[in-house]
């Protein structure tokens, strides 16, 4: 792992107190470069960390034909031991005839429910997701453009009265740096069988932001900092 990415991931873990001594941390692997790199990085961190914790890799198969679960499980076993696969019909249900407007939302919600259930079954109190800095920025715009609200994914968020916490160790790391390191680690490209891949609302936002970033390389950092620098007095609110 590069010194820059190692520093950024370590800073996120420290800033948000993501991992504690004795934690049993479930790592949600999707087959994408982000989650695979995250698992690999957490394995490296575990070896040198001043605290002891366990990693439990899992994959929720969405149920599409031509899935890659066996190949993914084999890859993960090379650097992180056994990975649990839960086979579901989440993706198929989300793309059913009665849910054509927003299949990604339903699929994501069903997947998260499965992750919560698996965490309880395996005695895990924390779930690590592979969302990066770019994902967090994109989600802000998705929520504004398509839901009329301001909010995004946060690096650490508790659920069920603190019994389960979702963490995002790559929250400070840019996608382009993850791609470079994943290539160095020779992670394969798993073909996503989802029919919405490349045609989602996130893809639209990503293309828009790419054009904006091209004009000024400071913009991405400014947007990210702005999410933690809210001037509430200058946002719309109705009089009492």
Q: What is the largest CA-CA distance in the chain?
A: 60
Long-range CB pairs of 9-16 (<8 Å, 24+ gap) are: 9/41, 9/45, 9/169, 9/170, 9/172, 9/173, 10/45, 11/172, 12/155, 12/168, 12/169, 12/170, 12/171, 12/172, 12/173, 13/45, 13/169, 15/155, 16/155, 16/156, 16/167, 16/171
Is 56 assigned to a binding site? no
Q: Is 55 helix (H, G, I), strand (E, B) or coil?
A: strand
Return the closest-CA partner of residue 221 out of 229, 106, 62, 207.
229
Is 28 assigned to a binding site? yes
Cα 32 versus chain centre, distance? 10
Is 135 assigned to a binding site? yes
Q: Is 127 helix (H, G, I), strand (E, B) or coil?
A: strand
Q: Is 158 helix (H, G, I), strand (E, B) or coil?
A: strand
Cα(209)–Cα(134) distance, integer angstroms: 10
Is 34 assigned to a binding site? yes
DSSP assigned state of 165: E
Is 130 assigned to a binding site? yes
Place of tokens 């004009």: 215
Cα(65)–Cα(238) distance, integer angstroms: 50
Residue ranges of the annotated binding site are 28-30, 34, 60, 130, 135
Residue ranges of the annotated binding site for ATP are 28-30, 34, 60, 130, 135
């Amino acid at each position: 792992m590069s010194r820059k990415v190692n520093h950024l991931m370590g800073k996120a873990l420290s800033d948000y107190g993501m991992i504690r001594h004795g934690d049993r941390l479930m790592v949600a692997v999707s087959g994408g470069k982000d989650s695979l790199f995250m698992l690999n990085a957490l394995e490296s961190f575990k070896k040198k960390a001043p605290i002891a914790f366990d990693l439990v890799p899992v994959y929720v198969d969405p149920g599409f034909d031509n899935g890659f679960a066996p190949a993914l499980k084999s890859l993960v076993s090379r650097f992180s031991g056994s990975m649990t696969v839960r086979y579901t019909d989440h993706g198929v249900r989300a793309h059913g005839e009665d849910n054509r407007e927003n299949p990604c939302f339903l699929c994501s919600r069903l997947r998260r429910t499965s992750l919560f259930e698996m965490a309880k079954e395996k005695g895990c109190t924390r779930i690590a997701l592979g969302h990066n800095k770019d994902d967090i920025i994109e989600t802000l715009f998705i929520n504004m453009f398509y839901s009329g609200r301001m909010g995004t994914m946060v690096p650490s968020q508790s659920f069920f009265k603190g019994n389960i916490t979702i963490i995002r160790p790559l929250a400070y790391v840019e996608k382009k740096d993850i791609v470079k390191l994943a290539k160095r680690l020779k992670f394969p490209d798993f073909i996503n069988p989802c029919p919405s891949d490349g045609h989602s609302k996130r893809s639209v936002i990503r293309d828009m932001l790419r054009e904006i970033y091209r004009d000024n390389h400071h913009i991405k950092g400014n947007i990210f900092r702005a999410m933690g620098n809210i001037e509430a007095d200058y946002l719309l609110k109705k009089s009492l």
